[in-house]
Amino acid sequence: MEESSQSNGIWKALVGILVVVSGILGYLLFDAKTANKNQEQVINQKVEELASARVRLDSIGSQLDAKIAQIKVLGGNIESLEAAKRQLEADKVQLKQVNVFSKKQYDVKIADFVTLLAAKDAELVQLKRENGELVAKNKDLFSQNSTLTNENMGLKTSKQNLTDSVDNFYRRNRELTAKVTRASALQAQFVQALAVSDKNKERDGGVYRASKVDKIKVIFQLQPNPIAKQDTKTIYMRVYDPDGSVLYDSGVGSGNFDLFGKETTYTAKKDIQFQNNGQGVEIIYGRGSAIQYREGHYKIELFSEGFKIGEGSFDVK
């Protein structure tokens, strides 16, 4: 009987130990699940914070681009905005380093960008006030550019929701900047090429005998542009022969100029004082001893301030 009692006691002790171990294991399992859940919440929060920071930086980037374009057109200082844009791009690169991301730090950065944008809004108001007379003269231009403005507004709206195509974001901004810059370029219209004989007799019509062509006089008008500066402009002319080669003779004024970042030859050039009144311009090119006009079609291109501003042609028979 005594041995049976001892056996029962041992079994009860073992059962008690198993209950305690089961409780401990259950507690550890519950604690592990709780820790995993907390860790998942932290990760989800981190992801949301990163996505929010990217969207906010994209939105600020589009506003910076717009402010830079607007202030540049009005003649204001854009150095601080360009510096802020460079800093914003660096901050967006750092977003890829998830382990070092700090929401608090990015909240401070974004607050600084917002403060700068607010200050530039005030500067824009002042610039527009100072340029009131110019704005009044630009009514027709603003009407023509309404489509561009609508594209810009639509671009800003779409960028706020853009989280998966940064490359597309940059491409559209470059296009917008190019359009704004192109709007201030000169435009040559009514481009004609006249033939001048060795006796200085001029002929028009666009088709000339080779024996009657000693010089080429190209005439055109510059279309008024309210946002183009009224200063000295250099107009470069390139004349292509029937084979597509540019007529070039340094002895009569041909040379080189920068076009799209590349050194390019020109046939002749002329400096003019742009008056913004539809003025007429003429450029004369004497062929020199090195050039003989052959039969065929000749093409003319005009450039100024890095842009192609007009074109024309003539034929030699």
What is the rounded CA–CA span in Å between residue 47 and residue 131?
Answer: 46
Confidence of residue 56 (pLDDT cuts 50, 70, 90): confident
If pLDDT is split at 50, 70 and 90, which confidence band does 147 have?
low
Which one of 3-7, 146-150, 172-176, 294-298 scores highest in mean pLDDT? 294-298
Residue 141: what pLDDT? 57
Q: What is the CA radius of gyration of the chain?
A: 36
Residue 265 has pLDDT above 60, yes or no: yes
C-alpha 168 chain-centroid distance:
12
pLDDT digit string, tens, across residues 99-114:
656 777 778 878 887 8
The Cα 223–Cα 81 span in angstroms is: 32
> What is the structure's pLDDT at 159?
67
- Mean pLDDT lowest for which of 14-18, 164-168, 197-201? 164-168
Check residue 205 and give its pLDDT.
94
The predicted pLDDT at position 100 comes to 59
3-class secondary-structure state, position 292: coil
When pLDDT is averaged across residues 273-283 and rounded to a whole number, the result is 95
Cβ contacts of 299-302, under 8 Å, gap ≥ 24: 299/239, 299/240, 300/191, 300/193, 300/218, 300/237, 300/238, 300/239, 300/240, 301/237, 301/238, 301/240, 302/188, 302/191, 302/218, 302/220, 302/235, 302/236, 302/237
Give first-to-last CA distance, the chain, whole Å. Answer: 137
Grade residue 185 by pLDDT with cuts at 50, 70 and 90.
Answer: confident
pLDDT at 278: 93
CB-CB contact of 253 with 269 (8 Å): yes
The band of 1, judged by pLDDT with boundaries at 50, 70 and 90, is low
- A 10 A CB-CB count for 311 gives 14
pLDDT bucket at 268, cuts 50 / 70 / 90: very high
Look at residue 202 and tell me whether its pLDDT is greater than 60. yes
Please tell me the distance from the alpha carbon of residue 149 to that of residue 180, in angstroms, as a whole number. 10
- The answer, yes or no, to whether residue 191 has pLDDT greater than 80, is yes
Candidates 238, 239, 269, 235; CA nearest to 252 is 269
Distance between CA atoms of residues 21 and 3, nearest Å: 27
Q: 15-35: per-residue pLDDT in tens?
A: 777 766 666 766 666 565 665
How large a percentage of the chain has pLDDT more than 70? 69
pLDDT at 144: 65
Tokens coding 268: 């002749």
Q: Residue 155: its pLDDT value, please? A: 58
Give 221: exposed, middle or buried? Use CB within 10 Å, 0-12, 13-18, 19+: middle
Mean pLDDT (whole number) for 59-78: 86
Taking the complete model, does pTM exceed 0.85, yes or no? no
Report pLDDT digits (tens) over 70-95.
888 888 888 888 898 898 788 777 77
